[in-house]
Amino acid sequence: MSLSEIVFIVNPNAGNGSTGSDWPIIKKLARDRLGPFTTYITSGPGDAILLTKEAIVKGAGLVICVGGDGTLNEVVNGYMEQKNSARADLRLGFVPNGTGCDFAKTALIPRDIEESINLIVTNKVRSIDVGRLGFKDHNGFSCSRFFLNIASFGLGGEVVERVNRTTKAFGPFLSFIWATLISIFLYGKKRINISIDDDFQDKISIWNIMVANGRYQGGGMMVAPDASMDDGLFNVTVIGNLSLAEVLINLPNLYNGKIYDINKVTTHTGKKIEASSEEDVLLDIDGEQPGKLPVSIDILPDSLNIIGTE
């Protein structure tokens, strides 16, 4: 591949700054395994979207994201926004190096730097689904965004907002479990209007609703064990009207894949989900907290080519 065909989008602040420290190691491994490439370094929120679009316009065939789920989400948004003018062979690679990296768990992309680079070298491409949301930002303006992993609303948005404004130095598990515990005690259940395709419509009290393309959220919580990234469907997990005691007792089931065993947790599948509320209900989109309900979510089957395991 020529220099213009491989592009790295690197977020040095990902993983509480660990990506910036690790980048010289990643860069050397990538040079040895992949040959020459172009590097773009982000300096703030939204940069990865713009840099990915710029790279594709300039002819990139392989865009490799180095960072966490938030960085990957931005790269995916740049990819999808520029996709109509991109070549059909456009591919996405991922070197997970952030706080949670929940998407990598479903995609079976190794967290080990050398192993993730070696996976990219194999150039084994799979086509996966992408989610698309329309929602309100914090100023009340209509926005749209793409996502690869999970979009949720309710407690998840509160947790992510708390995680993102505090230190992540203690790693994904402790960062998210601490934020979850605090949010549970400060947060109340919300009354939500929700519809899933033409099959389900209701007004319900919920702690959280996860619209899942991937299986994991919040630093390793397996909230959608049956989700698949290439079946053209979302798995929708509804954590319903549990008491505070029931929530606390069942926290381990969020990590061990037994979430569906919890009483008052239901699961659905669908291609389009709409939700609204008279209360302020925050969104969590791939670990970012850009806005709140109302939201409309639909799935775009086979929309992104990613290098990963089959």
Could you tell me how many residues make up the chain?
Answer: 310
pLDDT at 2: 47
pLDDT at 251: 83
Beta bridge partners of 300: 130
Residues 3-57 have pLDDT tens digits of 459 999 999 999 889 999 999 999 999 999 999 999 999 999 999 999 999 999 9
pLDDT at 254: 80
A 10 A CB-CB count for 213 gives 26
Greatest mean pLDDT among 214-218, 270-274, 287-291 lies in 270-274
Neighbouring C-alpha atoms within 13 Å toward the C-beta of 23: 20
Structure tokens, 309: 């395991």
φ and ψ of 145, to 5 deg: -160, 150
Does residue 187 carry a pLDDT above 80? no
Contact call for residues 255 and 187 (beta carbons, < 8 A):
no
pLDDT at 168: 58
pLDDT at 3: 44
pLDDT at 289: 87
Taking Cα atoms as reference points, which of 21, 34, 25, 100 lies closest to residue 64?
Answer: 34
Does residue 170 carry a pLDDT above 60? no
Query: For all residues of the chain together, what is the average pLDDT?
Result: 90
Does residue 160 carry a pLDDT above 80? no
Give the span between the Cα atoms of 83 and 225, in whole angstroms. Answer: 30
Greatest mean pLDDT among 7-11, 87-91, 151-155, 189-193 lies in 7-11
Does residue 237 carry a pLDDT above 70? yes
Residue type, 169: A
List C-alpha distances in Å: 56 to 7, 78, 81: 9, 9, 10
Neighbouring C-alpha atoms within 13 Å toward the C-beta of 157: 25
Query: Who has greater pLDDT, 2 or 189?
Result: 189
pLDDT at 221: 86
pLDDT at 287: 83
Query: Can you tell me which residue has the tokens 């960062």?
Result: 175
Mean pLDDT, range 154-164, rounded to an integer:
73
φ and ψ of 32, to 5 deg: -65, -40
Does residue 182 carry a pLDDT above 80? no
Q: What predicted TM-score, i.e. pTM, was given to this entire model? A: 0.91
Residues 76-120 have pLDDT tens digits of 999 998 866 556 789 999 999 987 799 999 999 999 999 999 999
| Fold adopted by 6-123 | Rossmann fold (3.40.50)
Domains of the chain, by residue range, sit at 6-123, 130-301
| Fold adopted by 130-301 | Tumour Suppressor Smad4 (2.60.200)
Mean pLDDT, range 232-261, rounded to an integer:
91
Least confident of 106-120, 129-143, 144-158: 144-158
SS (H, E, C) the chain: CCCCCEEEEECCCCCCCHHHHHHHHHHHHHHHHHCCCEEEECCCCCHHHHHHHHHHHCCCCEEEEEECHHHHHHHHHHHHHHHHHCCCCCEEEEEECCCCCHHHHHHCCCCCHHHHHHHHHHCCEEEEEEEEEEEEECCCCEEEEEECCEEEEEHHHHHHHHHHCCCCCCHHHHHHHHHHHHHHHHCCCEEEEEEECCCEEEEEEECEEEEECCCEECCCEECCCCCCCCCCCEEEEEECCCCHHHHHHCHHHHCCCCHHHCCCEEEEEECEEEEECCCCCEEEECCECCEEEEEEEEEEEEEEEEECCC
Beta bridge partners of 282: 292
Give the span between the Cα atoms of 32 and 265, in whole angstroms. Answer: 48
List C-alpha distances in Å: 223 to 115, 118, 124: 26, 29, 27
